[in-house]
Structures are given as structure tokens and as C-alpha cells.
Amino acid sequence: MQDTPPRKPQYIDGFVRNRQRRSVVSSASQAVPMQSARLQRQSGNDLMQRTTMGDFKPIQKNVPAPHVGKPGERSMLNTSLPVRDSLVSGKRASRFGKKTQKKPRTWKTIAKRSALVVLALFVVSGGWLGWKVYRNSAKVFGNKNPLSVLSAFKPVALKGQSAGHVNILLAGNSADRTDGSGGSSLIDSMMVVSINTKEHTAFMMSVPRDLWVDVPGSGYGKLNTVGNATGFSESGYPQGNMGALEKVVADDFGIDINYFALVNYTAFKDSVNSVGGIDVNIQSEDARGLYDPSFLSSEGGALKLANGVQHLDGQTALNLARARGDPYNGKYGAYGFPKSDFDRTEHQRWMMLALKEKVVSAGTLSNPVKVGKLMDAIGDNVKTDFHINELASLYYLMKDVKSTDIDSISLNDADGVNLLANYSGAGGQSALAPAEGVDNYSAIQQYISKKYNANKITKEGANVVVLNGGQIVGLAKTYGDQLAKKGLNVSQVGDAPAATASTVIIDNSGGKKPNTKALLKKTFGNGTSADTALAQQYSADFVVILGANQSDPTSTTTTN
């Protein structure tokens, strides 16, 4: 029987002797030949010794054997040197070989850190906006004291607010145009914004720049030449040309002006860009829309807009605010501007409404970058006699006024009547004057007074017919007088062709005059009816047929 080959001697850790013929590099990068190593571990008087022949002497029980690392693993043999970042089962070990595990983040830790990040961003953005407020208030209001910006958080009552109206004169200066036309002191466009603080309504009225007026200090001329009256000084008005403009508008139109703002057209362009553009519904009488080729390449080139809702950037909006379709610099072919300057002022009012909606929207006010850009647009290009602590009051006042409650009016179409006429001024200048003659502003003042004192009912201007279908004689006349006092236009009263048991309100306006309808329901009850053959006989917005259930409002006696 053949002898079995002797087993290869092994170390106590189970590794075959010849597999240990490797060099192990310690953390101090010193090579140690493993075959000649003498490992000793002493505990009391017991001694373990490894021999080169693989013989073993007894070892003390429960004494751990030394570990020889696997290939690619750092050695733990040289315990006299520190061992760092050893990987044990894929986890980090301490310098003493103990396993450590990264503590997971709790939701409280995440919430705290997130809150700190948000707070840091708030502080940084708040400080940045504060600097913007100070920088631009110094330009607009002349405030050099940094602490003056704190007054913006203390709103005060506006001039005219207690009386029920705040009137602002807006003027646009075209001095930044680069076409070489000159006229840097001319005021290119003018508008009065009147805010009814009690009704939360407003109207915007364009003031014709070609109106022939008595310019303070220089005699008669076009209204836009008031910009030359830089030496104007009179008690109750601001100094300079804006004071002169306030005086002319107040005297001729019969309306007090509480504030002014002189706006360089760059402010309008930059403001539109700062809020991400505006949407305007183009409603040209020409099916092709609007086209004006008079703009330079540096101004974006020819203006061309199709009918319908269009999104405008700052430059396009500025071009639309200037365009009137006149031949300019030898360029012809414009269309969509049959009323020339009146079309232009109408477009300006449209865009002011669109910009107002964007400015007070949450998307703008919650975006520090947009707010900062808007401040820069105003600070660099606006002059006004508003104080910084009045701006917050103005913002909250305008925020309460819905765009649907802002009238856009023009003197050439005052409820269908043209209150202006062409006029030839000194030297044959083409100008405009009141239809009743130069300096005769009675009709214009009467129209403005109507708008000035308007409420939501009178703004709708509804026509109402009141017919008596009950048993009380003269009841239609009684109610007709009451409705007229509330601002309704009662065009006819009389008897209904047939008696009716209950009062009926017929709406011929198609729901376009909701405030008037609400007043009629409050007066006569909720009885309404669809259009009838009787209602078709009247062109009025509403037909009220009083029934037998309607009592006499002037008597305590009820007749059924």
C-alpha cells in the first residue's frame, strides 16, 4: 500500500504555508517578508510561537489569532503603526479597527437644514431687494439716507384719497429715440389716471398731444410743447415743465391733478421685459392686423402684428406705443391705423392695463429677480412727485381695482361723440381743438365729470324700459324716477299691453351689464325671464314689467 503524501503544513489560521510567501506593506510603507516573521503574543507566562517548519506549541485558550489580510486588504500585522480607513465589510473602520456606521438623517434634521437654507436665501434676497429699493429711491425721490427706505413700510394716505379720487398725470418722453428727429424736450404722450377710492373703479383718459392750448410763459401752441416750460413756477404746482402741464390739464379739463410721473420710454420697455412680457389683444379694423414700417433696425425693425392675442416683449410693446401708421423717413405701406394718433393712444391704454395685471400678479411679486428688474426700470427712467411712503398706498389701492372696472376713454369717442375738431394753428400748424371752439371746454368738462363721478352702475350706462302690468296707476313712473336717481338711463315708462301677476325682468344685454341686473333684482326681486316677443319691441338693455305683486315704494300700503 502506497504511502499517502504528507499534508502540507498549515498555520493556525488555516492558510497553506506557501501561500504566505508575500510581502505585506505596512501603513508606513515598509515591506516585511512574511516567511521570516516571528509573531509573538504574550499573555501572562504563556507563549505562542510559530516555527518555520509549521510546528505549533500549545496556545492559551481564547486568545485570538492574528489576522493576515486577503489580497488587496491592508495588513493588520504591524500593530505598532496606526491603521486608518481600513474597509471592513464595505464599512468604514476607526483607527483602532472598530466598525462605524454613518448615522441616518432624520426628518427633523432635514427640516431644520432646509429651513436654514430658506432663511439664508430670504435674508440674501431681502438684503438685495433692500439695496435695490435704496438705490432706486435715491434716484427717483432723491433720498440719500439709507434709513429713508424704511418709510416704504409705513403707508400714508394719498392726496385726494379722503375726497374719493386720486388723479395721476402720466407723461411719456420720447427723448431716447435715435432717429435724429430732435425734440428731446417734447412730451410725446399724456394720460390721466383717475382712481375712485370709494367705488374701487378707475378710468384712463388719453390727452391729445396736438391739442391747441395756452402754454404758460409762451402763448398758444400744441400741448406737447409744454415740455419747454422748464422755468415754470407757480404756487400749488410742481416746479418746471411738469408743473406747467399739470396746470394746463387742470384748468382746461376741470380736474385736480394730485401727482405726476414723467416716464422715459425706456422705462416702459424695461418694465415690460422685467415681468416677462405682456399679452395684448390686437383688434385692428384691417383683417391683416397692424403694420408700421417706420421703425429703425436698431428699434427692432418694422412693426407687424396679426389680429388676436399677441405676446409682446419690451421693444415690440414700445414700438406699438409709438406707432400711428404715418409715412416716416420716406417709408410707406402702413396699415391698421385709420385714426392715426388716436389708435396709438388706444394701444397705450391697452398696454398699461396689461402691464398693471402683470405687475400685481403673484408671479411677479413672489420673484425677487423680477421685482429687482422692475425697480431698476423705474429708478433709471422715472421722475415723480410721489414720496416713497406713498407707493405702498398706491399699490394697495390699484390692487383693489379690477381691470374690468377700469374704463379706457378718449375725447374723440366720448360715448360715440367726437369732442374734438381739427384746427389750424399759428403758421399753419395742424392741431386739435375742442369741437365747440378754442378754449371752450364745457362739453369736455361735462363728459369728464360724468366719468369722474361714475360708479359701477353708471359706468355700464344701461338703458331701461319700465312697464306697468299691475293695478297701481303711475307705478311705472314712480319706479322709473327712482332708477334714474341711481344712475340708470330710463328711456321709457308706460303701461304693459297685458296684466301680469308677478314682476318680470328681461335682460336684453346678453349678460354684459351684470351690475345693473343686480340692482334691478335687488329692487324688484329675483323674477327674471327670457326674451319675449314684448321685449323684442324695445332696444333697451333691460325691460321691467311690473306685476300685480309690486307695491308702491312711496306708500306703506301694499296692493296685490
From 266, 245, 112, 115, select the one nearest 186 (Cα to Cα): 245
Q: d(Cα 23, Cα 37) in Å, to the nearest integer?
A: 11
Tell me the per-residue pLDDT of 301-314, one tens digit each, with 9 for 90 and over: 999 999 999 999 99
pLDDT mean over 30-58: 44
Weakest-pLDDT range from 282-286, 372-376, 422-426, 470-474? 372-376
**pLDDT for position 329:** 59
DSSP string of 450-516?
Answer: HHHT--HHHHHT-EEEEEE-SSSTTHHHHHHHHHHHTT-EEEEEEE-SS--SS-EEEE-STTS-HHH
**pLDDT for position 281:** 95
From 220, 182, 226, select the one nearest 432 (Cα to Cα): 220
> Comparing 65 with 163, which gets the higher pLDDT?
163
Q: d(Cα 351, Cα 306) in Å, to the nearest integer?
A: 16
> Comparing 112 with 252, which gets the higher pLDDT?
252
**pLDDT for position 71:** 53
**pLDDT for position 361:** 75
> Comparing 508 with 150, which gets the higher pLDDT?
508
**pLDDT for position 311:** 97
pLDDT mean over 536-550: 88
Tell me the per-residue pLDDT of 222-238, one tens digit each, with 9 for 90 and over: 998 888 888 899 999 99
264 pLDDT band, cuts 50/70/90, is confident
pLDDT exceeds 70 at position 414:
yes
CB contact set of 450 (below 8 Å; sequence gap of 6+): 458
48 pLDDT band, cuts 50/70/90, is very low
Tell me the per-residue pLDDT of 132-169, one tens digit each, with 9 for 90 and over: 444 445 444 455 544 455 555 566 889 999 989 999 99
Helix axes 314-322, 341-359, angle to 10 degrees: 150
DSSP string of 177-219?
Answer: --SS---TT-EEEEEEEEEETTTTEEEEEEE-TTBEEEETTTE
> Comparing 35 with 113, which gets the higher pLDDT?
113
pLDDT mean over 487-513: 88
560 pLDDT band, cuts 50/70/90, is very low
Q: d(Cα 56, Cα 322) in Å, to the nearest integer?
A: 105
pLDDT exceeds 90 at position 553:
no
Q: d(Cα 27, Cα 20) in Å, to the nearest integer?
A: 19
**pLDDT for position 45:** 43
Domains, the chain, in order of start with CATH, read: 1-102 (no CATH), 103-275+361-454 (3.30.420.590), 457-546 (3.30.70.2390)
